[in-house]
Structure 1
């Protein structure tokens, strides 16, 4: 019988892919990424307040504030707020530019690498778990899977195009001299009419691409750190208080940035946005609160590796579906055989990191 905790972890992990679509679509429609991030935090605060109030009324660790006053919580446990703020802002900006599968793929690889380092050295209150060779192999497979998901189709095209070019050159050399000009003209016409549309990652320069990938990698590392420190704070206080702190931190800082952002309140037409937008662009904050709440009580029950692994597997599958169908504002990127194979390699890497 499947544990209910595993089921919750899978559901929450899949919803993270939907959160990226909701927040990025809201940012595009409002013409302001900060407006999307602001709504995500404000709307996510409400369920966290309700959950925390239920905890207090139930008598669970009612001395939360006393523990904080007694300096029982180390300074690094408060890092969950800024780390969560960076992650939400990063996926809002990066997901529509990299695509759901590619963006979450890089985030997944960063999560795994960061989790292995944290476990290996026993940082942020986690029990020490030496990085076995199987875990290292899992990290390598995860990076290989991410590469195939992002660049597999373009690499296959370049290889096949190179072979076709060599074959065409050999045929041209074998033709009579008088037919070479006609053959070259025909090749140019074929290239003009049948050349495939390049992927997004091929249209942008390498410097911009490296910046996007670095931002996604840091977002994955931030998410892994946030899970660890939020789980620790949840054990020191209550899960509800830990989740609520993460959102209140964003509620305080984001309005300041939003107020001064040129494309913030000036570009926002709230009435038009509400009447013309689909319902699902407003659910990013709700999903975020569900994720933060889940890690505060699932990590002590399942362990960091199991919870992270199930989250990631669900994220990958959901992201591939969103890209393939073009749901939630994402540009359609069909799940080719190469991308599916890359996702499978990534899944194997995740399983190896979680198992060893």
Structure 2
């Protein structure tokens, strides 16, 4: 399978995501609450995904299938809510670029640990010098961006 189209699509998605904190900040100022803005953003996301489901199908969202999933899997929704709610609080202080560089740095640290330990059913990909060097470059980039 060709990875390049998926990688390019992910870059475009990342570019779209970069608009979320500043737009939610505008919404937060208008409604007087960053968390109110996050709630509206997540409600729009729910409406959007429901529209996608109309065209692609629900899958097997039944009590039986949901009962097979460990309880902690649902914490992904909490992670999403924390991300969305943190944007309008943090990005106005740090700027969008520093916000996202730090988000990416945190994602890379978490991903490296998940790969190393094979968490959540991932194949084990042990920490290597190259991976650590790449992570150090991102962390260094976060410091450089914060100084700019």
- TM-score exceeds 0.5: yes
* Residue 225 (structure 1) aligns with: 19
User: 2:105 aligned with 1:313, yes or no?
Assistant: yes
SS of 2:123 mapped into structure 1: coil
* Residue 91 (structure 2) aligns with: 299
* Residue 42 (structure 2) aligns with: 247
**Residues 156-175 of structure 1 correspond to what in structure 2 (within 5 A)?**
none
CA distance in 2, matches of 1:253, 1:295: 20
Aligned residues: 146
Where does the alignment leave 5 or more consecutive residues of structure 2 unmatched? none
SS of 1:250 mapped into structure 2: helix
Contact 1:309–1:354 (Cα < 8 Å) also in 2: no
Change in 2 beyond 3 A, CA 1:281/1:340: same
Task: Provide the alpha-carbon RMSD of the alignment.
Answer: 2.0
* Residue 140 (structure 2) aligns with: 348
2:71 equivalent among 276, 279, 301 = 279
CA distance in 2, matches of 1:298, 1:349: 18
| C-alpha distance after superposition, 1:212-252 (max 9, x if no partner) | 11111112211211112112221232212311221111222
**Residues 151-190 of structure 1 correspond to what in structure 2 (within 5 A)?**
none
CA distance in 1, matches of 2:69, 2:113: 22
Give the deviation of 1:310 after TM superposition: 3.1
Change in 2 beyond 3 A, CA 1:309/1:211: closer
For normalisation by structure 2, the TM-score amounts to 0.84
CA distance in 2, matches of 1:307, 1:293: 13
Give the deviation of 1:330 after TM superposition: 2.2
CA distance in 2, matches of 1:339, 1:219: 24
Change in 2 beyond 3 A, CA 1:306/1:349: closer
